Amino acid sequence: MRRGPAGTTGASPPVEPDCGLESQLFTKPDNLLTLIALGAVLLAAPAAQMTRAEDAPAPAPNASPASSVDLTALNVNWAVDGVITGATLAMWVLPEFFKNSLVPAEARWYGPPGIDVSARTALVWSNPAPAALTSDILVAAVPLGLGLWDFLEAEAAGGFRTAAEDLLVITEAMTVAGALTTVVRYTSARIRPFAYYGQGTGVPEDRLSFWSGHTTTAFSAAASAGYVAQVRGYASWPWVYAVGFTAAGAVSYFRVAGDKHWMTDVVVGAVVGTGVGFLVPWLHRSTPGLGLRLVPQLQGLAVAGRF
């Protein structure tokens, strides 16, 4: 399928999300991955209103002669990227409904290393519940806030289609990161710190600590939104990085302070989320992301490239 142009204007406004689904999901406040999945669906919803890319007129390469915004910076295939996003979203969310059969009765990874014990002693709150609640709020606010920020800037620069393309790429990065997280969490079955120290309830959630899904979601949203804004040339891209990674770091802290995760859980989650958040939009670039070449130097040769 031929890739469509990067942006046009005049598309119909997005259809409002199905309120029935939203009300059902939010009646289960403890189902955090379902809450994040809903946020991902809301970000990707404008794609449902897009006309076929082949039928759309070709956009101007830039928003205006004086603008540095590049509306052709990303290639989005609605069929392929839609399937990838939907499939990884299902891998991310559906196991939540089958925990009792998927999570082993006993933790496969039980004893924490010394660094995790020391970090917990230093960071966990005497009453961890407020910290855990704060992390729940932030993990929903970070992707939704960054997605709205990007949508408004993209729509102003290149119209509705450009904004929808950006949101699809960001959502795809989040769902890919979420699917990877689910596979590893259910495979490793690591004991959570509150359960290790005798505060567990015996439910499967007690054994889904590694790596932190909250952290991965926040960092994948920050990295993908920031990189999309950067390659497009939006003026606010440094702020997207600054606000996004600061908020993602706060999510990580509150997961440890709330006794929900070990330090190694959030560190690995941050690395994976950031890596996937950069990789997915990088793969959508219209121009090669790596233009490696040898550059003569006084001491010999150096490798240079564009990332």
Is pLDDT above 70 for 169? yes
Q: What is the mean pLDDT of residues 268-297?
A: 82
Residues 6+ apart with CB under 8 A from 85: 44, 168, 171, 172, 175
Report residue 182 as tokens: 């689910």
- State pTM to two decimals: 0.77
How far is it, in rounded angstroms, from Cα 208 to Cα 226? 29
Q: What is the mean pLDDT of residues 152-179?
A: 96
Would you state the pLDDT for residue 68? 83
Is pLDDT above 60 for 1? no
Would you state the pLDDT for residue 2? 39
The H or E element spanning position 34 is helix 32-44
Q: Residues 118-123: contacts with CB within 8 Å, 24+ apart? A: 119/256, 119/262, 119/263, 120/193, 120/256, 120/259, 120/262, 120/263, 123/253, 123/256, 123/257, 123/263
Would you state the pLDDT for residue 165? 96
Find the angle CA(199)-CA(186)-CA(257) to the nearest 5 degrees.
Answer: 40
Q: What percent of the chain has pLDDT over 70?
A: 72
**Cβ atoms within 10 Å of 50's Cβ, excluding its own:** 21
Report residue 95 as tokens: 């196991």
Q: What is the mean pLDDT of residues 106-117?
A: 96
Is pLDDT above 50 for 279? yes
CA distance from start to end of the chain:
27
Q: What is the mean pLDDT of residues 84-99?
A: 96
Read off the pLDDT band of 74 (50, 70, 90). very high
Average pLDDT taken over every residue of the chain:
82
Is pLDDT above 90 for 257? yes
